[in-house]
């Protein structure tokens, strides 16, 4: 999966959870919850959707690493790279 | 027209889900009604056969208006009261579709599980795109509804407030361990644990679970927790998790997820808006330290939760840093006094120190 594909998948997931949010205004380093006004339920829904779509289990202890779009991209890219390296 | 909350004076019938001659049973969804806050699936509270529909879609009628008559099986007319596959569409999108003259049943939704979103409606709108202006109306309606209920509350209910700070270390540690062993979709949110603790604490002080009606307290055997949910288009709605006292922690989490999803996408049931026996307002996600709520009449209590934040915490002569939650109780002084309120908060704290038992 290319980085562009990954980004598209993530934005699609966020859009499904928060359809009213203006994703074009979301900067890569902006906090998702603050910028998009999503709560802990929405965030869990995003984590579940990532698990369903990309088969990646993000443990709660890693939530801080995936609090921004860039953070999610980096987190998932690392995992993808690690699985390729095995 | 059922009353779907103390703030509701009238409702607009959007759609019938039944027709004369249909057999219905208690709990069936028979109509969709629009209030100033949301669109609601109306359930029927009797079993029988639909005799006559008395109100037409689009009609706005006062609370208490007879919408339809039903008759019992094998009997002549006419008991009183107010579905095929439901259209998954957010209240905002539905309102927009109506304003733009778009037939929502012909739109292919791109939202969760095919739900129709605002964008879908805008794309389906006829060419010279009318600039939608539903938000001010919706917001105005929402504000009017909240204003009516809260004004009544402040006018009629002598509130008292209590606050306590709860060390959440044991609860959060237990949740972290528990979630580590669960599939992602089965993870528990702290809110579910708090709701379960509220249910347990209400067993200790049942006087906080009920209604103040005709100058006396009616304690309710079922705990129906109204849970304040922020809507994306603005405002709050407080549908209830019905029979929360009969639900396990996992079932409460499932009910909570289901309720939040339906509050935001449409599909709340009338009973969920009219049968709450106590309200929980959890504004921790919004960063507030503590919540001093206004009781939703005829209920007699509101439990508020702020955010969990690290604080210096002295215990057994030692000073440490703990995740601390400010829990508040707004009580109706006609129904209970501060002693009972204090017992409730003390019990809440105690249960949250033994999360494995919740």
Measured between beta carbons, the chain A residues lying within 8 angstroms of B90 are: 19
Q: Judge: B118–A60 Cβ closer than 8 Å, yes or no.
A: no
Predicted confidence at residue B80, as pLDDT, reads: 42
Instruction: Say what the pTM is.
Output: 0.76
pLDDT at B307 over 80: yes
For residue B164, how many other CB atoms are within 10 A of its CB?
16
The secondary structure of residue A21, as a DSSP letter, is S
Question: Residue B223 CA to chain centroid, in angstroms?
Answer: 13
B238 to each of B214, B230, B231, how far by Cα in Å? 24, 9, 10
Q: How far apart are CA B110 and CA B98, in angstroms?
A: 19
Interface test with B, best of A39, A40, A52 (most B CBs within 10 A): A39
Report whether B292 contacts B160 (CB < 8 A): no
Nearest to A41 among B180, B189, B233 (CB): B189
Q: Judge: A41–B257 Cβ closer than 8 Å, yes or no.
A: yes
The secondary structure of residue B77, as a DSSP letter, is S
Residue B295 pLDDT level (bands cut at 50, 70, 90):
very high
Predicted confidence at residue B325, as pLDDT, reads: 97
Nearest to B184 among A16, A18, A51 (CB): A51
Taking CB atoms within 8 Å and a gap of at least 24, the contacts of A15-24 are: A16/A49, A16/B111, A16/B112, A17/A42, A17/A45, A17/A46, A17/A49, A17/B112, A18/A42, A18/B232, A19/B90, A19/B111, A19/B117, A19/B118, A19/B119, A19/B232, A20/B92, A20/B118, A20/B232, A20/B233
Q: How far apart are CA B326 and CA B352, in angstroms?
A: 13
Residue A62 pLDDT level (bands cut at 50, 70, 90):
very high
The secondary structure of residue B44, as a DSSP letter, is P
Portion 56-85 of A in contact with B at CB < 8 A: 57-61
Q: Judge: A19–B260 Cβ closer than 8 Å, yes or no.
A: no
Which whole number is the average pLDDT over B87-101? Answer: 74
Nearest to B118 among A19, A39, A48 (CB): A19
- pLDDT over 70 percentage in chain B: 89
Q: Judge: B111–A19 Cβ closer than 8 Å, yes or no.
A: yes
In this complex, is the C-beta atom of A41 within 8 Å of any C-beta atom belonging to chain B?
Answer: yes
Q: How far apart are CA B177 and CA B88, in angstroms?
A: 36
Q: How far apart are CA B172 and CA B180, in angstroms?
A: 12
pLDDT per position as a tens digit, B114-166: 778 777 887 777 654 334 444 446 567 767 777 888 888 999 999 999 999 99
B191 to each of A69, B132, B230, B304, B318, how far by Cα in Å? 25, 36, 14, 11, 29
Predicted confidence at residue B183, as pLDDT, reads: 93
B202/B34: higher pLDDT: B202
- Residue with tokens 């805008």, as numbered in its chain: B122
B53/B343: higher pLDDT: B343
Q: Judge: B111–A16 Cβ closer than 8 Å, yes or no.
A: yes
Q: Is A38 helix (H, G, I), strand (E, B) or coil?
A: coil
pLDDT at B102 over 70: yes
CA distance B180 to chain A (A): 7
Residue A82 pLDDT level (bands cut at 50, 70, 90):
low
Q: Judge: A33–B112 Cβ closer than 8 Å, yes or no.
A: no
Portion 1-20 of A in contact with B at CB < 8 A: 16-20
Omega of the bond prior to B298 within 30 degrees of 0, cis?
yes
Q: How far apart are CA B172 and CA B285, in angstroms?
A: 16
The secondary structure of residue B298, as a DSSP letter, is T
CA distance B297 to chain A (A): 27
- Could you tell me which of B47, B57, B45, B48 has the C-alpha nearest to residue B17? B57
């Amino acid at each position: 999966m290319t980085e562009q594909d990954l980004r598209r998948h993530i934005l699609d997931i966020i859009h499904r959870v928060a359809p009213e949010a203006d994703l074009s205004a979301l900067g890569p380093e902006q906090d998702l919850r603050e910028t998009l006004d999503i709560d802990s339920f929405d965030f869990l829904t995003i984590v579940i959707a990532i698990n369903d779509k990309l088969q990646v289990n993000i443990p709660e202890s890693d939530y801080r690493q995936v609090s921004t779009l860039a953070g999610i991209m980096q987190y998932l890219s690392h995992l993808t790279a690690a699985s390729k390296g095995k | 027209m059922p009353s779907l909350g103390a703030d509701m004076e009238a409702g607009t019938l959007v759609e019938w889900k039944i027709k004369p001659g249909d057999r219905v049973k208690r709990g069936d969804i028979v109509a969709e009604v629009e209030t100033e806050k949301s669109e609601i699936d109306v359930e029927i509270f009797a079993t029988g056969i639909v005799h006559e529909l008395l109100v037409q879609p689009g009609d706005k009628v006062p609370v208490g208006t007879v919408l339809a008559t039903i008759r019992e099986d094998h009997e002549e007319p006419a008991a009183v009261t107010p579905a095929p596959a439901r259209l998954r569409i957010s209240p905002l999108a539905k309102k927009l579709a109506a304003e733009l003259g778009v037939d929502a049943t012909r739109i292919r939704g791109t939202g969760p599980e095919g739900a129709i979103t605002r964008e879908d409606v805008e794309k389906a709108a006829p060419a010279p795109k009318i600039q939608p202006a539903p938000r001010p109306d919706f917001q105005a309606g929402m504000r009017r509804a909240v204003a009516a209920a809260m004004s009544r509350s402040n006018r009629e209910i002598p509130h008292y407030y209590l606050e306590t700070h709860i060390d959440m270390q044991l609860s959060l540690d237990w949740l972290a361990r528990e979630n580590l062993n669960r599939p992602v979709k089965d993870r528990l949110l702290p809110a579910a644990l708090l709701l379960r603790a509220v249910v347990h604490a209400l067993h200790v002080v049942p006087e906080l679970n009920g209604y103040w009606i005709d100058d006396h307290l009616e304690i309710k055997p079922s705990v129906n927790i109204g849970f304040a949910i922020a809507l994306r288009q603005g405002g709050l709605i407080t549908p209830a998790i019905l029979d929360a006292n009969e639900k396990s922690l996992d079932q409460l989490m499932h009910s909570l997820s289901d309720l939040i999803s339906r509050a935001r996408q449409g599909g709340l049931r009338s009973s969920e808006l009219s049968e709450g026996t106590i309200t929980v307002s959890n504004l921790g996600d919004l960063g507030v330290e503590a919540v001093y709520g206004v009781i939703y009449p005829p209920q007699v209590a509101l439990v508020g939760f702020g955010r969990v934040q690290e604080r210096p915490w002295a215990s057994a002569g030692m000073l440490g840093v703990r995740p601390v939650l400010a829990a508040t109780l707004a009580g109706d002084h006609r129904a209970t006094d501060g002693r009972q309120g204090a017992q409730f908060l003390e019990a809440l704290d105690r249960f949250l120190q033994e999360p494995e038992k919740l």
